[in-house]
Amino acid sequence: MKGTGVSSGDITVSKILRIVARFLQFVLALTVAGLYGVDLHHAAQAHKYADSKWVYAEVVAGLSCITVLVYTIPILKTWACFGWDALLFILWMALFGTFGKMYINENPEGDAGVTRMKHAVWVDLVNMLLWFMTAVYGAVIFFMHRRGRTLHTGRAEV
């Protein structure tokens, strides 16, 4: 399928866009891990409990990083994993909703922690949108690929 990024030999625009999207997903997930990790580190230093919302943020960021690293395996057709991308989209959506409700309308009043968390919320949003885009793209390519023709005669539908 020309232009869909399904062929293995040539570099297409869609392959380049997927590589850029995956790179951004990885970098932004690391960013989120750092932004939320600061509060978890401060809580650990103060011998306080780790808030489950912040732990959830770290888990989602970690799953995203691991996923992108697994997707770098050359033989893996990442577009066929659109269901996992969709699940990560849902996890990022819950993360954005949780922290967005807490911090979007918050006035930082010079508090660097609140300012950092307000920035983290927008990074969550971008992550959510990136995972949505890769899930939709993967689903489209997956279902287009399923409607292909056989390799040998090209007549029968697969």
Domain boundaries, given as residue ranges, for the chain: 13-146
The yes-or-no verdict on residue 2 having pLDDT over 50 is: no
Cα dihedral 112, 115, 119, 125, rounded to 10, equals: 130
DSSP state of 48: -
Its pTM stands at: 0.82
| pLDDT tens-digit readout, 42-78 | 888 888 888 899 999 999 999 999 999 999 888 877 7
What mean pLDDT, rounded, does the chain reach?
86
Higher pLDDT, 35 or 7: 35
94, 157 contact by CB (below 8 A):
no
Residue with tokens 């911090």: 103
Whether residue 91 contacts residue 60, with contact meaning beta carbons closer than 8 Å, is answered with: yes
Residue tagged 């650990």 (tokens)? 44
If you average pLDDT over residues 126-150, what whole number do you get? 85
In whole angstroms, what is the distance from residue 35 CA to residue 29 CA? Answer: 10
Buried-state track 7-27, b at ≥16 Cβ within 10 A, e below 16: eeeeeeeeeeebeebbeebbe
pLDDT digits over 71-118, tens only? Answer: 988 887 777 789 999 999 999 999 999 999 999 998 888 888 899 999
